A and B are shown apart, each in its own frame.
Chain A
Amino acid sequence: MRPSPTPRLAGAIATLFLAAFLAVPLAVILARSLAPSAGEPFGAGFLAALTDPYYLGRLGFTLGQALLSTALTVVVGLPTALLLARYRFRGKRVLTAAFTVPFVMPTVVAGIGFLALVGPRGVLGVDLRNTLAIVLLAHVFYNFAVVARTVSGFLEGVAPRLEAAAATLGATPWRVVARVTLPLALPATFASALLVFLFCFTSFGVVLILAPAPAFATLEVEIYRLTARLLALDAAAALALVQLILMVAVGFIYTRLQERLAVSVVPGDATRAPRGSAHLLLGGTLLVTSALVLAPLLALSVQSFGSPGSPWPTARNYLGLLTQSHTVGFTDLWHALRNSLGFAFSSAALALVVGFLFAYAIARGGWRWLDQASLLPLATSPITLAFGYLLAYPALVGSVWGVPLAHALLAFPFVTRTLLPAYRAQPPALAAAASTLGAGQLRVLLRVELPLLRPAFLTAAAFAFAVSMGEFGATLLLVRPEFATLPVAIFDRLGRPGASNYGEALALGVVLMALTAAVMLVLQRRGRSEF
């Protein structure tokens, strides 16, 4: 395709945004970690941090817990994926949607949900706080849907027909699983495992809330501590660089794998109803996974209506949120809501504009590198990004613009990924027809392409909104106390002792959960994105 002025301009603005709010902050981190300071040679600070046994230990722990979490997530997610891809049954749509709930829940909600379940005041009476177990559990809870949905979505279109073919060639059910289903599922499983690894490797909110002891700090948590508490910016920069290199490497493999997966998928549903003993297998597996997925959220909801010493449900925690606004340093419900919604609206609007510019430039300009570049924010952790803003644009941090800019940067890849397939699905003949009728490129965009993209825009907006509302790490570093969002307000309360603070944190968690669920309902009713 011949790039013409309009896509060029869109591409230029998009690139400029990415350069200013991603490349420059990362470059400043790079410079800070490598630049010689006070007569030392180039890269000395970086090497010193790398050889420091404490930081090496943090790196080791981060990698180890991420690998363990990933392995566990695959072990739990894969059987569910195989069953979902093979069988159709009543309530499958609802169940699949329910499995996705944890993944879209803000990390803070997941964290506080597990506290409500197995924390010091948890409903189960077992205190797992500050153990590796609770971190792994939360990671499985959080990422289980990534494996289950990616793999089942991939297999659904392919496996049933190929399994039927294998059966006509004499393969018994277990042989079919071994020779057809598992080999087919392997690439998708590996791809989703990489994604899960990325999420667990940069885990922040879950770890900070469930295992705040220094022994459980991931690199992301360590960077936050060094920056916000110790002001050891050189060490933070070195760690951020290490993390960034690993993430970009894993992200690169992931996108390569995605491309290969996209080729072999055949659309269509050929699932069948379970017969005989398959009922038992299906029911048992789904029961276990549903319990794992729903228990923390259920515990959170139930406990938010409890109060110490009373067996009856009360609204005390919620009422406390409304009245206790005089407590020093706490944001009350209304202000937290106002801040969260305000940031979510402004960053969603910004993310829609930037995300669209990327989608338009990629679809109509045909630049492949721009397609890759639009994924870069996903390979950058929120803490690293916010840290980069602190170093590169100190002025931004004091203003109200730091948070929406960071959120928009983190959210626009989702917008682009949602708009692109819709854009590509538009028959090229439509634009051609409009131009034969006298519409210039901009008029074609306004009168044909944009109206057709409307459903995709709504989905994208909901995505961006949800990302901003749930975002925790970057907000924590960038926000001024008076602009604290719901996640930050929850974290503040968890950091103080006392049953009433804990109760209020639970209530705020339920509010955030309900808001996210409402946004997700919009998403669920609309189409899917490219993820």
Chain B
Amino acid sequence: MNLRLTGLAKRYGAVTAVDRVTLELVAGTTLALLGPSGCGKSTLLRLVAGLEAPDAGGVAIGDQDLTRTPTARRGFGMVFQDFALFPHLDVGANAAFGLVEARVPAATRAARVRELLALVGLAGLERRKVTELSGGQQQRVALARALAPEPRLLLLDEPLSNLDASLRESLKLELRSILTGLPAGAIYVTHDQGEAFTVADTVALMRAGRIVQVGTSEELLAKPAGPWAARFLGHDNVYDTAPQGAHLPVSDGALLLRADLTRLGEPGTGATDVSVATAAREGLAWRLTLTAEAWGVTVTWRGFDRELPGHPAPGASFGLQVPPEAWRSIGSDA
């Protein structure tokens, strides 16, 4: 059954944290709530969990309204940013916490805990103190604990943000495979596009309490809804007005230049000539800042040596070849 949020709103004094959010999550899929810090995504998650009461709007699963249902009765599992493991309980007792509340018999409980700890790669650590675990291990216990009572929805609040970068990379893929195996849906809150695109089927982009755009990662990257979304998703070449003299077929609101669709050739071979302002190595690839004097803009361009007509020394001149589909009109921010 799908989770439906309708017109959810929450204010703290003068600040509107969540502004009339309407959203649907298809059962069995993962939705990422992606946005910069302070955009209200964690508050939205707490509203879904029932940890905060909304000022307006509702939360429902199928046709069952849950807006007034206390957290304990919603049957949603949650993984917290700081893991929130119970320091007075060991790993096994943490994982079994929800099973005790669900009055699962002790024998079944132990089997289920064993099964889940194995799933998250912590088999045999039942008696370990949670304070003796590494950050990554704590994260795994938090996940096992949330999954143990078989929640009908799993909520994850920046679950990887307290871990170091290399651990984040590997856990990201692991989380993806665990979440795809779940019958329940999941909402995954993050500020990291990479995490959102890796883990989720659908991404909801959030800004200042509102949902800006919802779609798959391909849809979001190909058609960002406005200059803010384009920049936040990692596009470098976003122009609020059309560059002068570029003779563009489209022109209304902001423009996005997909540099990955352009080529560099000898001077005079392209739509305009550009000169190298800065050239930086990013591993095997180059990251060039190019000045398009005729257009009065700079273009950021990434590529390998074989895609360059010559060495990109500062001051070097190239022709920028731009196919029509590289330009995209993306409207303006709401």
Binding site for B on A (CB under 8 A): 158, 161-162, 164-173, 175-176, 179-180, 183-184, 186, 263-264, 266, 275
Contacts and interface: CB of A to CB of B under 8 A. Distances in A.
A263 B72 CA distance: 29
Interface residues of B, number: 29
In this complex, which of A166, A167, A169, A180 has the most chain B Cβ atoms within 10 angstroms of its Cβ?
Answer: A169
B87 A184 contact: yes
Given A169-B101, A171-B101, A264-B131, A164 B75 contact: no
B86 A167 contact: no
Interface of B: 49-51, 53, 70-78, 80, 82, 84, 86-88, 97-98, 100-102, 131, 145-146, 149, 155
Contacts of A183: 86, 88
Contacts of A167: 50-51, 70-72
Given A167-B70, A172-B72, A180-B86, 15 more contacts: A158-B87, A161-B80, A162-B84, A164-B49, A164-B71, A165-B80, A166-B97, A168-B155, A169-B77, A169-B101, A169-B145, A170-B72, A171-B72, A172-B70, A275-B53
A179 B101 CA distance: 10
B72 A264 contact: no
Nearest to A176: B72
Contacts of B155: 168
Contacts, number: 74
B51 A164 contact: yes
The 5 A-B pairs at the shortest CB distance, nearest first, are namely A169-B98, A170-B101, A167-B71, A165-B84, A168-B78
A395 B174 CA distance: 77
A161 B42 CA distance: 13
A173 B50 CA distance: 13
Contacts of B80: 161, 164-165
Nearest to B151: A168
A183 B88 CA distance: 7
A168 B78 CA distance: 6
A179 B97 CA distance: 9
Contacts of A175: 72, 101
Given A170-B98, A172-B72, A165 B78 contact: yes
A263 B130 CA distance: 13
Contacts of B97: 166, 169, 171, 179
A167 B84 CA distance: 12
19 contacts: A158-B87, A161-B84, A166-B86, A167-B51, A167-B71, A167-B72, A168-B146, A169-B98, A169-B149, A170-B73, A170-B98, A172-B70, A173-B72, A179-B97, A183-B88, A184-B86, A184-B88, A186-B88, A263-B131
Nearest to A158: B87
A183 to B, nearest CB: 5
Nearest to A172: B72
Nearest to A170: B101
A224 B85 CA distance: 51
A263 B88 CA distance: 13
Nearest to A162: B84
Residue in A179, A184, A263 whose Cβ sees the most chain B Cβ within 10 Å: A179
Contacts of B86: 162, 165-166, 180, 183-184
Nearest to B46: A164
A168 B71 contact: yes
A190 to B, nearest CB: 13
A179 B86 CA distance: 10
Nearest to B80: A165
Contact of B49 (A168, A184, A186): A168
A332 B76 CA distance: 71
A167 B46 CA distance: 12
B144 to A, nearest CB: 12
A271 to B, nearest CB: 13
Nearest to B87: A264
A44 B86 CA distance: 53
Contacts of B74: 168
Given A175-B101, A266-B82, A168 B77 contact: yes
B70 A161 contact: no
A272 to B, nearest CB: 8
B101 A168 contact: no
Contact of B76 (A168, A179, A263, A264): A168
A405 B86 CA distance: 47
A176 B71 CA distance: 12
A420 to B, nearest CB: 24
Contacts of B70: 167, 172-173
Contacts of B98: 169-170
A473 to B, nearest CB: 39
Contacts of B76: 168
Contacts of B77: 168-169
A471 to B, nearest CB: 39
Contacts of A164: 49, 51, 71, 78, 80, 84
Nearest to B75: A170
B199 to A, nearest CB: 20
A183 B93 CA distance: 13
Contacts of B49: 164, 168
Nearest to B49: A168
Contacts of A170: 72-73, 75, 98, 101-102, 149
A161 B82 contact: yes
Nearest to B97: A169
A186 B87 CA distance: 12
A105 B304 CA distance: 75
A172 B73 CA distance: 8
Nearest to B98: A169
A275 B50 CA distance: 13
A185 to B, nearest CB: 10
Contacts of B50: 167
A264 B82 CA distance: 13
A520 B88 CA distance: 36
A172 B70 CA distance: 8
A188 to B, nearest CB: 12
Contacts of B71: 164, 167-168
A482 to B, nearest CB: 57
B130 to A, nearest CB: 10
Contacts of A172: 70, 72-73
A90 to B, nearest CB: 13
A348 B49 CA distance: 53
